[in-house]
Structure 1
Amino acid sequence: MSKSAMIRARIEPDVKEHAEAIFRKLGLNATDAITLFYKQVGLCNGLPFDVRIPNEETLKAFKDTDKGVGLTHYDSMEEMFDDLDAD
Structure 2
Amino acid sequence: MSQTTISIRIDSELKKNMEAVCSDLGLNITTAFTIFAKKMVREQRVPFDVAIDPFYSESNLKHLREGIKELNAGRGVSHGLIED
TM-score bracket relative to the smaller structure: 0.5 to 0.7
The code of the aligned residue for 2:60 comes to A
Larger radius of gyration: 2
CA RMSD of aligned residues (A): 3.0
Change (3 A) 1:62 1:39: farther
Structure 1: where are the runs of 5+ without partners?
75-79
Q: How many corresponding residue pairs?
A: 74
CA distance in 1, matches of 2:18, 2:34: 15
The normalised TM-score by structure 1 is 0.64
Segments of 4+ moved more than 2 angstroms: 52-55, 57-65, 67-70
Q: Provide the secondary structure at the position in 2 that maps to 1:31.
A: helix
Identity %: 34
Change (3 A) 1:64 1:38: farther
Change (3 A) 1:51 1:63: farther
The code of the aligned residue for 1:25 comes to D
